[in-house]
Amino acid sequence: MNLGQNESRSIGVGRSSDQPRNILVITYWSFADALIQTYTLPYLRIMLRCLPEGSHIHLVTLEKSDPRAWAKIDEAGISLHRYRYRPLGAKGAGMILGLIALLWKVMRDHKVDTIHAWCTPAGMIGHLLAKLTSKPLVLDSFEPHAEAMVENGTWPRKGLAFRVLFHFEKKQARQARAVIAAASGMRAYALEKYGVDLPAMQVKPACVDLERFSLDRVKDPVVMEQLGLKGKLVVVYAGKFGGIYLDQEVFDLLRVARDHWGERFHVLLLTGHSVEELTPFIVKAGLSLSLFTITSVPHSEVPVYMGVADMALTPVRSVPTKRNCTPIKDGEYWALGLPVIITPGISDDSEIIERNGIGVVLDGLDRDAYQRAVERMDALLSTSDPAALRARIRAIAEKYRHFRIAEQVYRNVYGTTG
């Protein structure tokens, strides 16, 4: 399936008039979370462009912090409704019931006509609200969450949290008027796991602001000087270790890369982990701390830091549900022209990388597999003109991660019917 070619037609939530719409967008994240700031708000701005003039979006976030520290939103067409978060379980059930009561009032007071839920935990709340109010439900970024939490070891399969969310994933998939999935494989997953066919499912991968993540940000001389990277061959990884991501395996791969490329090889980790947290992995792999630059930067600065690299890593664990998710970082890497070493079976991305020859898909998690991957990456870098390679990879981002994909999806969902 070509991710940039969702069928251009309304799929049931559009209306025949140009009257303003009021959309309730439910998330399961805090307002300060990067998933709101970089993964939700940009889409809401696009959504507003696809709605009739005068439409309004009511964004729901769940906060773990003290309410006195909550920031506000000052953006035309978007209002923020913030509530206290409780994890799924006994306390979470109470939170959800209270939240539904409060959101029912928001819907009544603001004449909300559509419920738009982001990911399946929020979809559970959206499903219950839709049953209560008879308003249409749209599922956005629809991907497996319950099974993913089991696969990464967070939840036991027989635990209450898994059983509740998996039950409601089936319910919301059956009820939704429109489904926007993160990857094309979600239709087969929904049919197999939920018994629900989604013939009109739209695909909206994690799109990227291609103006911010542009080739103009590559090899910024100030950052190169600041980090002491002149003459270095740099690999970047932006993300976490553990859970759904590999940990020791990453450093074992980096050991092979260091042995292959020698002193000019350097690793830039843009991560929230401290040096102290990562040192045991580094030591076990037989590496020196001097090989690494480990830092956390504001998302506004990520493009220039990521842009100093020559290649990148996406070490997501190859568990079944990851076929139906979409890593944001891949689009950012591609937009900056970086070839990627990735694990197999990750969204549509592993296939895209393999098919287009813009990186390496690992064929194992042992030293021999790491050696093959490093040699293939070395061949790609050494036999390609650097500028031409970056331009070719950038074109992949334009094709598969451009915000116009999201705009077309939202026009399909909310376009008028007559």
- pLDDT tens for each residue of 177-218: 999 998 889 999 999 999 999 988 999 999 999 999 999 999
Q: Is the pLDDT of residue 417 over 80?
A: no
Check whether residue 184 and residue 220 sit in a common domain. no
Q: What is the mean pLDDT of residues 359-382?
A: 98
**Residue pLDDT, tens place only, 36-68:** 988 899 999 999 999 999 999 999 999 987 766
Query: Is 346 part of any domain?
Result: yes
Phi, psi of 14 (to 5 degrees): -70, 165
Q: Where are the alpha helices (DSSP H) in 317-366?
A: 328-335, 349-356
Query: Is 248 part of any domain?
Result: yes
Q: Is the pLDDT of residue 3 over 50?
A: no
Q: What is the mean pLDDT of residues 370-389?
A: 96
Q: What is the mean pLDDT of residues 83-99?
A: 76
Check whether residue 188 and residue 278 sit in a common domain. no
Check whether residue 220 and residue 365 sit in a common domain. yes
Number of domains comprising the chain: 2
Q: What is the band of 32 on the pLDDT scale with cuts at 50, 70, 90?
A: confident
Query: Is 8 part of any domain?
Result: no
Question: What is each CA distance from 223 to 218, 302, 305, in whole angstroms?
Answer: 10, 11, 7
Check whether residue 196 and residue 48 sit in a common domain. yes
Check whether residue 225 and residue 365 sit in a common domain. yes
Of residues 42, 377, 387, the one with CA closest to residue 216 = 387
Query: Is 10 part of any domain?
Result: no
Q: Is the pLDDT of residue 394 over 90?
A: yes
Check whether residue 107 and residue 183 sit in a common domain. yes
Long-range CB contact pairs, 90-96, < 8 A, 24+: 90/160, 92/161, 93/164, 96/124, 96/125, 96/128
Where b means 16+ CB within 10 Å and e means fewer, 357-389 reads ebbbbbeebeeeebeebbebbbebeeebeeeeb
Mean pLDDT over the full length of the chain: 92
State the CATH number of the domain containing residue 185. Answer: 3.40.50.2000
Query: Is 210 part of any domain?
Result: no
**Max mean pLDDT range (293-302, 306-315, 324-333):** 306-315
Check whether residue 200 and residue 333 sit in a common domain. no
Check whether residue 44 and residue 78 sit in a common domain. yes
Check whether residue 238 and residue 378 sit in a common domain. yes
How many C-beta atoms surround the C-beta of residue 256 within 10 A? 19
pLDDT score recorded for residue 33: 85
∠ CA 122-124-129 to the nearest 5 degrees? 95
pTM here? 0.88
Q: What is the band of 418 on the pLDDT scale with cuts at 50, 70, 90?
A: very low
Express as a percent the part of the chain with pLDDT over 70: 93
Q: What is the band of 84 on the pLDDT scale with cuts at 50, 70, 90?
A: confident
d(Cα 379, Cα 377) in Å, to the nearest integer?
5
Check whether residue 46 and residue 167 sit in a common domain. yes
Query: Is 5 part of any domain?
Result: no
- Structural domain of residue 308, as residue ranges? 215-400
